[in-house]
A and B are shown apart, each in its own frame.
Chain A
Amino acid sequence: MKAQMDILVIDDEPVITRAVQKVCAAEGLSVDIEEGGAAGLSRLKSASYRLIICDLMMPGVGGGEFLAEAARMGVRTPVIIATGYATLENAVISLSHGAIDFIPKPFTAEELLAAVRRAISCDRLKQECETAPPGALPPSCAPCPPLYYRLGSLSWAKVESEGSVVVGAGGLFLEAIEPIKTIELMKPGEETLQGAPCAAAISAAGDRHPVLCPISGRIAEVNTRAAADPALSVKDPYLEGWLYRLLPTNLQAELGHLTASGGGTP
């Protein structure tokens, strides 16, 4: 029988792991600490967790290898990748390798807790979708349509015939934050980078959840309906609830970092 703890934090910097432990413990979450990927993997053999927070750049087994090895071991615990802004591209790639979310360092206590809560509730929703009887699927289990590209379950991009790209937040991502008070959007003409926050969903509790942009580009159009009514994006995240129309700057290379949607559950 594996011991059930809430969170496993893996980072080679003690100051990070202690800080995460302190912040999470104050919210009533139990936290285990490991200082390397290999130690973390062996810990997973004897204990199970609701969430793992793993650094991307570590000596020995890094975040990427950790993800691959955990998947091979059949570990289904969601993993949040924490990394510096310098390795944005690696973070984006880690999302396509099964990480549930990505949190850029340095982060505040609020940002960390928002990501933790979002990941836990997102994982719960995923399990509900898998276990629910086929006829009684909750609306948040609506699949990401075919020909869409996903940045994990956080956001999506759809290439239009003219070469522009429509982007929006993922259904599960929004559902996990519910209820959403407002969605903060950027303005037309502004530029955004793949993996950088391009919008923020503010929950009723006041938590700020950044929407990471799936594609770099200049914003050509903003969905004013979604800005005015956050519920629209939650209800129909993949069609009516889109956020931006972008003029991409590096589309082909960036699509390779995303997951092509087969129409299944995100």
Chain B
Amino acid sequence: MKENWLKNIWLSTGTGFKLTLVVCATALLTISIFAYVNIRTHSASLLAEVERHANQLSESVRLSTEYDMLLNHRERLHESIRRVGNQRSIQRIRVMNKTGMIIYSSDAAEIGRMVDQKGESCYMCHAAGRPLERLEIKDRTRVYRPGPGASRILGTITPIYNAPSCWTAACHAHPKEKVVLGVLDVTMPLAEVDKDIRRGQLEIAVFALSAILALSLITGFFVRRLVAAPVAELVEATRRIAGGELGHTIPERADDELGLLAKSFNNMTHKLSEARLQLVQSDKLASLGRLAAGVAHEINNPLTGVLTYSSFLLKHTQDRPDLQEDLKIIVREAIRSREIVKSLLDFARQSVPRKAEADINSIIGHTEAVINSQLALNKVKVVRELDPSLPKVKADASQLEQVFMNLFVNAADAIGPAGGVITVSSSVLKLPPSAVAQVRKALCPKRHSLIDAGTPIAGKPSVRLKVTGGGAEGFLHLSALYGAGGQLCNLPSGAAGPDKFACPECGTSLNNKGVPCPACGGPTYAFEAPPWGLLEGCAVKGCGWQRWQGADDAGHLEFVELRVSDTGCGIEQENLQKIFEPFYSTKGQKGTGLGLAVIWGIIDNHGGTISVESKVGAGTTFIIRLPVSA
């Protein structure tokens, strides 16, 4: 139960918090161990220093008194011990004989007293019951506390061994057999040392605690800044995008993994919004199709009335030339309405336009003539900047007339009652093949198609080659855009680049024999790419050289560029991408919102593109490009 509760808390906290917690726990553990070991070493070394000092002192006392003992100068001995023992760092010095009687002591009151063999100063030698005869230096010292609350004391026992001079001396005080004649016992207070140790412990503990605290704070700060905040932004962004706000982007802070994540996230949402736009567009087009069919059906009957009566009148008033002109216009425009209804249906069912060689300049001229009187009424002047050498384009003249009519009406609406200028221009535009040429067919010598729609690069089907490099086999996918350099290769990343190319289906070699890459000298591939013949290229990473001689020789691809500019109110940037969507209108009740969608469909059906540039308050320009050779 408690475990679950902890688990729940753990699961519900943020990654940043968890990360900080783990780092802090690790720091706490390591720094604590370090501090503990440090304190112990510090205490031990301090104590060892005192011990060494005590042993040295004992030895000095023993050596300096040895001669007096030998000569049995008791008074001098006594005086020496008393003087040495009066030093502040020494608590007491005493000499005991074998029976345990204190013979000399810096504390005169003690002299003559017997020491208990179980006492702390005798314990080391007499612990085993039988007295030791030899005591190693390291075993001579002991630390003890004389009573509860008292400070510690360090004692050093130095045995006084029997020496030849002892039994050969004139006094003959000691028989030869005795090994130990007595002991010198020096005790020193450890109060100062203990104080040092305590201060050291405190210092280390304070240092450890502040290190842990600082580490936690710094880690917490940076985790928050580098991990928690960007992750929170990502979470917030996903929440917003789930809520339908597809335009939301994350600021791309750095080039680290989270920055890359933010980048690919933005990229993903961008793609998503594009896909959604397309989906909405096609959905709207479908409803537009249904609507158009309904409108066409409804409008056909009244239009039949207009067309039949007017053409009937035209036929039967040939003696009235004053009426004939007007009636001709009615019939012509009624027929144009019929064509518009038809093209609306064509557009709805995505049918192909009825193309013929068309002179765009004369289409523009004709459209302008039809609408000119209306434009003049609105104080709109039309400036024509037409290129007289414009090549003919395969196009549906009626549909293009509708396009220009629509653009002129839109421009006049944007200009408003104050009046202004519409500039319509036509020109020839040549784009190099490397900018627009696309490999649509790719064949191996045995006529197998190399096009792989399953692995698109930049949204277009790629060209797939089987490759061998560094002993490994894999596939190389090339971008269909000539010279774009886009390629994917699934050979192991460590292996050398591909050096053998083959058809994935029949294995026929596609190596461009004897032709090293002119850019980097690497191996090259070659395959046939109709209609422009052999396409050669280099698969070395970062080189990506390609040569499609046929496409290069075909020269620049020609487009007719048509621009319709107005000096009107302009369109706000955020609305620019919406204007080609069906049912989008800035005219409120005045328009249906279908005009530009229909135009877009017509231009698209002609294999062309339409784009728009606009500046609020300055005007709008529609740019149409139609391929000349389509």
Residues of chain A touching chain B, judged by Cβ–Cβ distance below 8 Å, are 13, 15-16, 19-20, 22-23, 26, 57, 84-87, 105-110, 112, 187, 189-191, 193
Q: Mark B121-162, 1 if CB is under 8 A from A, else 0.
A: 000000000000000000000000000000000000000000
Q: Is the CB of B304 within 8 A of A105?
A: yes
State how many angstroms separate the Cβ of A110 from the closest Cβ of chain B: 6
Kindly list chain A residues whose C-beta atoms are within 8 Å of the C-beta of B297.
57, 84, 86-87
Contact across chains for B315 and A109 when beta carbons are under 8 A apart: yes
What is the number of contacts between chain A and chain B, taking CB atoms within 8 Å?
78
Residue among B296, B306, B308, B335 facing the most chain A CB atoms (10 A cut-off): B308
12 A–B contacts, CB within 8 A, in A order: A13-B301, A16-B304, A22-B308, A26-B316, A84-B300, A86-B300, A86-B345, A105-B300, A109-B312, A187-B356, A190-B354, A191-B355
| B352 & A108 in contact (Cβ 8 Å cutoff) | no
Q: Which residues of B are found within 8 Å of A26, using beta-carbon distances?
A: 312, 316
B334 contact from A20, A84, A106, A189, Cβ within 8 A: A106
Given contacts A20-B308, A85-B345, A107-B307, contact A191 B354 (CB under 8 A): yes
A contact residues around B304 at 8 Å (CB): 13, 15-16, 19, 105-107
Q: A85 and B309: CB pair below 8 A? A: no
Please tell me if B560 contacts chain A, counting CB pairs below 8 Å: no
Q: In this assembly, does B174 line the interface, its C-beta being within 8 Å of a C-beta of chain A? A: no
Task: Give the residues from 297 to 354 in chain B that come closer than 8 angstroms, CB to CB, to chain A.
Answer: 297, 300-309, 311-312, 314-316, 331, 334-335, 338, 341-342, 345, 351-352, 354
Contacts of A23 in B (CB 8 A): 308, 312
Residues from chain B with a CB closer than 8 A to the CB of A112 are 308
- Besides A105-B303, A191-B354, 19 more A-B contacts (Cβ < 8 Å) are A15-B301, A15-B302, A16-B301, A19-B308, A19-B309, A22-B308, A84-B297, A85-B296, A105-B300, A106-B300, A106-B301, A106-B304, A106-B306, A107-B304, A109-B314, A189-B355, A190-B354, A191-B355, A193-B351
- Among the listed B305, B315, B342, B356, which residue makes an inter-chain contact with A16, where contact means beta carbons less than 8 Å apart? B305
Check B70 for interface membership: any CB of A closer than 8 A.
Answer: no
Distance in angstroms from B100 CB to nearest chain A CB is 128
State the CA gap A16–B301 with chains docked (Å). Answer: 7
CB pair A106 B352 closer than 8 Å:
no
Tell me the complex Cα distance, A85–B334, Å: 15
**Complex contacts, A106 vs chain B, CB 8 Å:** 300-301, 303-304, 306-308, 334, 338
Query: Contact at B305–A15, with CB atoms within 8 Å?
Result: yes
Q: A110, B311: Cβ atoms under 8 Å? A: yes
A196 to B301, CA, bound (A): 19
Q: Closest residue of chain B to A55, judged by CB?
A: B301
Distance of B604 from chain A, by nearest CB (Å): 15
Cα(A78)–Cα(B311), bound, Å: 25
* Cβ contact within 8 Å between A85 and B331: no
Complex CA gap A190/B303 in Å reads 28
- Indicate if the CB atoms of B301 and A86 lie closer than 8 Å: no
B111 adjacent to chain A (CB < 8 Å): no
Q: Are B354 and A108 in contact (CB under 8 A)?
A: no
* Residue positions of B touching A, CB distance < 8 A: 293, 296-297, 300-309, 311-312, 314-316, 331, 334-335, 338, 341-342, 345, 351-352, 354-356, 394
Majority secondary structure of chain B interface residues (helix, strand, loop or mixed): helix
Looking at B301, B305, B354, the one whose CB has the most chain A CB atoms below 10 A away is: B301
Contact B300 A110, beta carbon cutoff 8 Å: no
Alpha-carbon distance between A13 and B298 when the two chains are bound, in angstroms: 11
The verdict on A107 contacting B308 (CB below 8 Å), with A15-B301, A85-B342, A85-B345 known, is yes
Q: Establish whether residues A190 and B356, one from each chain, have CB atoms under 8 Å apart when the complex forms.
A: yes
Q: What's the Cα separation between A98 and B480 when bound, in Å?
A: 52
Which residues of A are found within 8 Å of B355, using beta-carbon distances? Answer: 189-191
CA distance A105 to B306 in the complex (A): 11
- Most chain B CB within 10 A, of A23, A57, A85, A190, is at A85
Chain A residues with CB below 8 A from B293, complex form: 86
Q: Which residues of A contact B311 (CB under 8 A)?
A: 108-110
A107–B296 CA distance with the chains assembled, in angstroms: 14
Query: Whole-angstrom distance between the alpha carbons of A187 and B394 in the complex?
Result: 11
Closest to A111 in B: B311
Most buried by B among A86, A112, A191: A86
Task: Report how far A193 CA is from B312 CA in the complex, Å.
Answer: 29
Q: List, in ascending order, chain A residues with CB within 8 A of B356's CB.
A: 187, 190
Return the chain B residue nearest A216 by Cβ. B351
Give CA–CA (A193, B352) in the complex, Å: 9
Closest 3 CB pairs of A and B: A106-B304, A108-B311, A19-B308
Question: CA of A191 to CA of B305 in the docked complex: distance in angstroms?
Answer: 30
Q: CA of A22 to CA of B307 in the docked complex: distance in angstroms?
A: 13
Question: Which residue of chain A has its CB nearest to the CB of B316?
Answer: A26
Q: How far is the CA of A252 from the CA of B356 in the complex (A)?
A: 28
A85-B296, A85-B345, A191-B352 given as contacts; is B308 within 8 A of A108 (CB)? yes
| Contact among B307, B316, B394 for A108, CB-based, below 8 A | B307
Complex formed: what's the CA distance from A219 to B394 in Å?
15
Question: Which residues of chain B are within 8 angstroms of A20 by Cβ–Cβ distance?
Answer: 308
Min distance, Cβ B157 to any Cβ of chain A, angstroms: 118
Decide if A105 touches B301 in the complex (CB within 8 Å): yes
Complexed CA–CA distance, A105 and B303 (Å)? 8
A107 to B302, CA, bound (A): 11
Q: How far is the CB of A43 from chain B (nearest CB, A)?
A: 22
Q: Report Cα–Cα, A86/B296, bound state, in Å.
A: 7
- Residues on A with beta carbons closer than 8 Å to the beta carbon of B345: 85-86
In the complex, what residues of A have CB within 8 A of residue B308's CB? 16, 19-20, 22-23, 106-109, 112
Q: In the docked arrangement, what's the CA distance between A128 and B293, Å?
A: 41
Expressed in whole angstroms, the Cα–Cα distance for A200 and B436 within the complex equals 39
A85 to B296, CA, bound (A): 8
A118 to B298, CA, bound (A): 28
| Closest Cβ–Cβ distance, residue B510 to chain A (whole Å) | 31
Nearest B residue to A85 via CB reads: B342
Contacts of A110 in B (CB 8 A): 311, 315
Q: Once the chains are docked, how many angstroms separate the CA of A16 from the CA of B293?
A: 20
A89 to chain B, nearest CB (A): 10
Which residues of chain A are near B334, meaning CB under 8 Å?
Answer: 106
In the complex formed, the residue of A with least CB distance to B304 is A106
Shortest CB distance A23–B (Å): 5
CA distance A86 to B290 in the complex (A): 10
Residues of B within 8 A of A193 (CB): 351
Q: How far, in Å, is B472 (CB) from chain A's closest CB? A: 44
What B residues does A19 contact at CB under 8 A?
304-305, 308-309, 312
Q: Report Cα–Cα, A23/B312, bound state, in Å.
A: 6
Contacts of A87 in B (CB 8 A): 297
Chain B residues, Cβ within 8 Å of A85: 296, 300, 341-342, 345
Measured between beta carbons, the chain A residues less than 8 angstroms from B315 are: 109-110
Q: How far is the CA of A20 from the CA of B311 in the complex (A)?
A: 12
Please indicate which of the listed interface residues A84, A187, A189, A190 has the most CB atoms of chain B within 10 Å of its own CB: A84
Cα of A106 to Cα of B300 in the assembled complex, Å? 6
CB-nearest residue of chain B to A83? B300
Inter-chain CA distance A26–B303, complex, in Å, is 21
Q: Which residues does chain B contribute within 8 Å of A189, judged by CB atoms?
A: 355, 394
A107–B301 Cα distance when bound, in Å, is 10
- Inside 8 A of A191's CB, which chain B residues have their CB? 352, 354-355
Hey, which chain A residues are within 8 Å of B314, CB to CB? 109
Closest B residue, CB atoms, query A249: B352
